[in-house]
């Protein structure tokens, strides 16, 4: 796009800077309408932004497409006809729902077990106590 040398040593450095300018991998994912896991894979595994997302990321971050993907040819008006990204707001957290605890269960009466060694089964029923 320009005759100036790129500002970044590698396309990976350009991608990292673009994500930093957008704000986070999560926000970058919203710009591209994909999952944050996909953006994480670009950064940590592929080290490159896929071609179909370059213009969106360039518009949102200000990093030029030829810096994100110097291996591809980018015409001078590559970003002219691309609408600005639509970023969906993060929904506000829903108020916590208070769940009342279950009523305390009445203690179970265990029938007498003459074979019990500790005597725990020789308790009297609650009504007889």
Q: What is the pLDDT of residue 34?
A: 93
Determine the Cα–Cα distance for residues 66 and 6; give it in Å rounded to an integer: 8
Q: What is the pLDDT of residue 127?
A: 58
pLDDT at 37 over 90: yes
pLDDT at 123 over 80: no
Q: Predicted confidence band at 35 (pLDDT cuts at 50, 70, 90)?
A: very high
- In the chain the domains, ranked by start, together with CATH numbers, are 11-68 (1.10.260)
Return the HEC string of the chain.
CCCCCCCCCCHHHHHHHHHHHHCCHHHHHHHHCCCHHHHHHHHHHHCCCCHHHHHHHHHHHCCCHHHHCCCCCCCCCCCCCCCCCCCCCCCCCCCCCCCCCCCCCCCCCCCCCCCCCCCHHHCCCHHHC
- Name the pTM for this structure: 0.57
């Amino acid at each position: 796009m320009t005759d100036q040398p790129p500002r970044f040593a590698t396309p990976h450095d350009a991608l990292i800077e673009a994500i930093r300018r957008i704000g986070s991998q999560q926000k970058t994912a919203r710009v591209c309408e994909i999952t944050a896991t996909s953006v994480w894979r670009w950064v940590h595994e592929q080290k490159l932004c896929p071609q179909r997302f370059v213009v969106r990321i360039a518009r949102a971050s200000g990093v030029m497409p030829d810096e994100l993907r110097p291996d591809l040819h980018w015409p001078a008006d590559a970003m002219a006809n691309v609408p600005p990204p639509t970023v969906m707001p993060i929904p506000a957290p829903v108020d916590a729902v208070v769940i009342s605890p279950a009523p305390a269960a009445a203690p179970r009466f265990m029938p007498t077990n003459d074979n019990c060694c500790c005597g725990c089964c020789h308790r009297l029923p609650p009504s007889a106590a």
